[in-house]
Structure formats: C-alpha cells, structure tokens
Structure 1
Amino acid sequence: MAAVAVSALGGFPRVNLMPRSEVARRERDKLTRAWVWGVLGAIIVAVLIIAAAFYLKWSADQRLAAEQAQSNQLLLEIASLSEVSEALAAQAELTAFRSESMAADLVWAPVIAKVTGVLPGQTRLTGYDFAVGGAPQSDDPTAEQGLVGTVSFDSPTPLDIVGLIRSLRGVEGVLFADGQSVTSSQVDSGRYAYLLNVVFDQSIYSGAFAAAAEGEN
C-alpha cells in the first residue's frame, strides 16, 4: 500500500501517491543516463586525444619531409660545386707550396751592392759564391742565417783586410764576416786577390711570395 504523507504544517496538504517501485526505477534510469553520458564523454575525450596525436605525428612527418627535401637540395648544390671546391683546394695547396718553396726568395743586386759599398776605391768584386739558407723559422729575420758563402775581390794595392772586415760586419743584413779565411797574393796583373767568408741574415729575403700567400688567404 502506498504511503500517505500529510503535511504537519500550515498550507495545502500534499500526498505522494507514487509507488516505491516507480521511484526506484526512476533513480535507476537517472543513474543509467549519468553512466551513459560519462562513458560517452570518456569516448569523446579519447577520440580527441587520438586525433590530436595523429595530427601532431602528421605535422612532424611533414616537417621532416620538408627538412629532408631541403637537405637533398643542399647536397645537390654542394655536389654541383665539387669542381669549384677541388679547384680551390688545389689553388690553396699550390699557393702553400709556392710560399714554402719561395720563402728564401731574394733580389741579388741589393745584396751585392751592400758588399761593394764598403770596398775601397779601385777595388773590384771579382766573384761570389753563396748558398741560400732555409725558410724563416721565427719572427726575427736578423736571428737566422739567410745567405752563406764567399766573396772575392782584388785591389791594385794591399788592403787593410782587418778594417775591411770590420766595415763589412757593420753592413745592414750582414750577420758575420770571417777574417780567418782571408787569402791574398799578387797576381800576374799586379793586383792583389782576396777571399772573405760572409753570412747574411734573413732580412735580405724579399718576402714577396709569403706576402702574396697571406693576401690570397
């Protein structure tokens, strides 16, 4: 039998005539709908997450494809410039070889002029025999040998060879002048012949090829 509820307070009396079974059914329906909507919401969220993941993967694939295409294009451009690169490498190698092989380049006329500049009057240079030194090994060209050899000259009168050696040692670029190897004799023409050992430093090097190599690099 349905329960009858009568309001104990003032106002119109209200009676709940709905059976308990109907109330329970409605509660079950309400709970079922809540569960259905919850499941549908979870499915929708899962679908959105999966779609977002697929979109991110698709975007990453597109970016990767673009980067690969750009890399391939750069490789093609580099390959097309291989001949230029080889030519530049060959030029750099030849320039380095020239700079190394011509490091001891010098102009002979100024060197000989330095020797003849200290010779007394009527004294003439009759010959010279020099060997060029190695490439510069330091920033101070006056500290290393650049030209080593002998100079020969003659004079109609005997010379003060000691004074001449001192004068020669004072010439710019002369690293050493050896007076111990001096020889003198009166030749058939009545002139006296002399032979001196002379060492020049590397300040006599022109440095032309080394400067050109630095400019090209």
Structure 2
Amino acid sequence: MTAVPVPFSGVARVNLMPRVEVARRERDKLVRMWVWLVFGAILVALLVIAGAFAFKFLADQRLSAEQARTSALLTEIAALSEVSQALATESELTAFRGEAMANDLAWTPAIAKVTGILPAETTLTEFDFTVGGVPQGGDPAAEPGLVGTFSVDSPTPLDIVAIIRSLRGVEGVLYADGQSVTTSQQSAGRYSYLLNVVLDQTAYSGEYAAEGGE
C-alpha cells in the first residue's frame, strides 16, 4: 500500500504563550480601549462645557451692550423731557391765549364799516362799543361781536334815515338805528348824531384763533 504524502508548505508555528498571558493581554487591550473611550467622553464633555461658556459669554456681552444702549436712550429721553414739558406748556399757553383773545377786535375795519357810509363833511367824534361773546363755532356772521354807539358831527342837518338804511346794508352790520340828535350850543350850526349799531363776529381779528378754528 502506497502512502499519500500530505502537502505542507511554510514553517511550522507553535503558540507556546501561556493561556494566562493571552488573557492578560486581552484584558490590557480592553482596558486601553475603555480608557480611550472615557478620555474621549471627557474630551467631548469639556468641549460642550467650553461651548456653553462661550455662548453664555457672548450672550452676556450682547446683554451688556443692549443695557448700555437702553441706558443711553433713557438718558436722551430724560434730556428731552424738558423740551417736551416746554412744548406742552407752550401748547397750553397758546390754547389759553386763543380762548382769552378769541374776541380780539380788528378795530380799523370795524370803524371803517361805520364811517364808510357817512357823508364827506361828517366827523366821527366818539364811539363806545362792548365786545361780544367768544365764537362758538357757528356762523360768525349771525352772532353779535361788537355792540355800542357812535357819535358823528356835521355842519349841516343829515338825512339820518337814509344813513341808517345805508348802515343796515353794510356787510357785517346786524343792527343799526338812531338814538338822538342834538345841536351844539357852543358852535352854531353844528349837529351831533348818536347812533346805535351791532356788528357781527366777523369784526373779530381771528389773530389768536387756534389752528383749524374760526
């Protein structure tokens, strides 16, 4: 019977390492792996903590900047409070002046309305007027604004009826009538006429009226 040779190549190797040593080496390898894992975990935790501190530091910086900006704005507002108070006071005084001077008269046009219809030879010698009420926002041409009397002097007798009729037709005159006629005792041929007249509130100057008002 012929033996069949077993094919064999290379150098024969025999592991003579004791099983205890092999186990020790495996334990050391496992320990090193766990050490690196723990070290990595600690490193990651430190990085997270450092990131959190950095984020908090940046947030604190932004908060400090906003607080400084707020303080600056409050300082500016405090500085402007005096201006606001002055403007409010000015507005109140302007409103008070508008109410107090609402019936301020434009004397020259008012007197011109009366004297404009008088004959050339007559002279306005005296007038006594009382200012009417404050405008109420209605029609100023329907409310009395100037009530009183005026006196005129003439060297000749006047047609007082015609004068009163002309005066009643003047724009802004609500009422006109004669009161008395006298002859001067000191100057012969001089005649004095006393007339009653009521002008509407268009006689007011409106100079101190509030904006948007009458």
Common fold, TM-score beyond 0.5? yes
Alignment of 1:20-169 (within 5 A): 25-72=24-71, 90-125=89-124, 126-134=126-134, 137=137, 142=140, 145=143, 147-154=145-152, 156-158=157-159, 159-160=161-162, 163-168=165-170
Deviation at 1:149, TM superposition (A): 0.7
- Letter aligned with residue 162 of structure 2: D
- Letter aligned with residue 169 of structure 2: S
- Letter aligned with residue 50 of structure 2: A
Unaligned runs of 5+ in 1: 1-7
Deviation at 1:40, TM superposition (A): 1.5
Deviation at 1:117, TM superposition (A): 0.8
Distance in 1 (alpha carbons) for counterparts of 2:115 and 2:20: 138
Deviation at 1:116, TM superposition (A): 1.0
RMSD between superposed Cα atoms in Å: 4.2
Kindly name which structure, 1 or 2, has the bigger radius of gyration based on alpha carbons: 2
Unaligned runs of 5+ in 2: 1-5, 185-189
Deviation at 1:146, TM superposition (A): 6.9
Distance in 1 (alpha carbons) for counterparts of 2:7 and 2:201: 130
Q: Is the 8 A contact 1:107 1:205 kept in 2?
A: yes
Distance in 1 (alpha carbons) for counterparts of 2:134 and 2:45: 81
Could you state the TM-score of these two structures normalised by the residue count of structure 2? Answer: 0.63
Alignment of 1:132-211 (within 5 A): 132-134=132-134, 137=137, 142=140, 145=143, 147-154=145-152, 156-158=157-159, 159-160=161-162, 163-168=165-170, 171=171, 174=172, 176-179=173-176, 182-189=177-184, 191=191, 193-202=193-202, 204-207=204-207, 209=208
Distance in 2 (alpha carbons) for counterparts of 1:185 and 1:41: 121
Distance in 2 (alpha carbons) for counterparts of 1:82 and 1:23: 87
- Letter aligned with residue 116 of structure 2: G
Deviation at 1:52, TM superposition (A): 1.8
Query: Alpha-carbon deviations, 1:44-74, whole Å to 9, x = none?
Result: 1111111222222233333434444455556
Could you state the TM-score of these two structures normalised by the residue count of structure 1? Answer: 0.62
Distance 1:19 1:153, change over 3 A: same
Residue in structure 2 matched with residue 4 of structure 1 by the alignment = none
Distance 1:11 1:115, change over 3 A: farther
SS in 2 for 1:55: helix
Distance in 2 (alpha carbons) for counterparts of 1:14 and 1:144: 137
